Amino acid sequence: MRKQEKIHHNQRKTIRTFVAIEPGENLKMLLTDTIEKLKRMGFKGNWTKPENIHLTLFFLGNLNMHKIVDIAYKMGERISGFPSFVYDVEKLGYFAQGDNLKTLWFGVHGGKTLEGIYSEVKKSIIFNSIDVSKETFVPHITVGRIKKYPDHWKALLGSIDFEKIEVPVDSVGLYSSTLTKKGPIYKKMYTIDFEGGVIING
């Protein structure tokens, strides 16, 4: 492939992309402990790996690199100078269809500050001609997608309790997601730091 053809090929290549906030180590520990409890109770599923845990703001689908760069720098314009804050993780919840358990998650409460950062990121995405205007934000962190569970699963989930933890936030990340047979592989492409602006991660 000639150099010019290679450049055009790379421009056409798309990357599965999402915007998220990284967790703290205390959240990774909570995830590991909770999954171990669920396994002992008889729950089986595709569990979130500690290195993959994150608070998703937007899933953007497949984008070319030019679009990803534009979004990163527009986010930098909008959220540079945003105050650092914390969000709370305070319960284990679930999504179900009737009595069929589908997904387990940690509930997140970040108040007006988390809603504010979501709003600014949303404006950055819409500015780059990606329509996320109808999306609503239900902040949660996926623990696992469930394949098998005990008959009395609601009572068992109700017995899992933990002390509220606080997760500090001082940046937002723009990630790639590569799907493999062993599960997704996430890589942070850009960090949009509240104080330091846009940082290229590779």
What's residue 2's pLDDT? Answer: 52
Q: What is the pLDDT of residues 8-66, one digit of tens each?
A: 445 568 999 999 999 889 999 999 999 999 999 999 999 999 999 999 999 999 999 99
Report H helices in 80-133: 111-127
d(CA 117, CA 110): 10
Fold exhibited by the domain 15-200: Cyclic Phosphodiesterase; Chain: A, (3.90.1140)
3-state secondary structure of 114: helix
pLDDT at 95 over 80: yes
Domains of the chain, residue spans: 15-200
Q: Which residues are the active-site residues?
A: 54, 140
Predicted TM-score (pTM) of this structure? 0.87
pLDDT of residue 8: 46
Determine the Cα angle at 145 with ends 109 and 177, to 5°: 80
What is d(CA 113, CA 135) in angstroms, rounded to the nearest whole number?
18
What digits encode the pLDDT tens for the residues 111-163?
Answer: 999 999 999 999 999 999 999 988 889 899 999 999 999 999 999 999 999 99
Render the burial of 8-28: b for 16+ CB within 10 Å, e for the rest: eeeeeeebbbbbbbbbeeebb
Q: What pLDDT, on the 0 to 100 scale, is given for residue 4?
A: 46
DSSP result, 34-89: HHHHHHHHT-EEEEPPGGG--EEEEEEEEEEHHHHHHHHHHHHHHHTTPPPEEEEE
Distance CA 190, CA 188 (A): 6
Q: What is the pLDDT of residue 181?
A: 84
